Amino acid sequence: MDMSYGGVIVQNELESSLVVEVKEKQDGDPILLQLKGAVHHKRVEVFSQGGDDVLHYQGRLCVPNVGELRKQILTEVHNSRYSINPGATKMYCDLREVFWWNGLKRDITDFVAKCPNCQQVKVEHLKPGSVRFLHVCRSLILKRVGNVAYELKLPTELVVVHPVFHISLLKKCVGDPTSIVPLESGCEG
């Protein structure tokens, strides 16, 4: 508490249990231990350590590759009641504010690709010009169109969408397509 200038400043020192666990388990990751040594000997500049001996990468907390900790963080962010099933881009933007690990973006993409609700294609997200990626299962491919496109069998709800897609807009379906929730329920965004 700071009472200078006649005012009061209160700082809330509450920390997420995941942040505490990350800090406690950093010494269990041999790669992070090597990086801590390199920081101590001033051989790397993008990593830093505070007085609490916690390793940071460009100000972000380094998450050790220990047990299921990274998966636990992904699950927590993905299932947060404030942003249920946020998708890969939103998850990455949220996570990279606080955490860092080598392969973070790839791990998020893989995690979201295994979520049946996130794989559900919604009509409102498939307006012309707004398509980012379409996750497809092999059974949905009707035929190859030239060298760089595929014609897909789309659900009846997507009749407004042209069925031919450039390969850059397609991603392999990892999840079980039979477990996808119907269009009227599931993730909201």
pLDDT at 39 > cutoff 70: yes
Cβ atoms 73, 95 nearer than 8 A = yes
Nearest to 85 by CA among 114, 115, 55: 115
pTM of the model: 0.57
> Who wins on pLDDT, 170 or 81?
170
Tokens 């200078």 belong to which residue?
4
According to CATH, what is the number of the domain 17-113? 1.10.340
In 3D, which of 130, 116, 134 has the Cα closest to residue 181? 116
Specify the pairing of strand 134-136 against strand 170-172: parallel
Give residue limits of the domains in the chain: 17-113, 121-179
The residue with tokens 């700071």 is 2
At residue 101, the pLDDT reads: 95
| pLDDT of res. 73 | 92
Contacts of 7 (CB under 8 A, 6+ apart): none
pLDDT score recorded for residue 175: 57
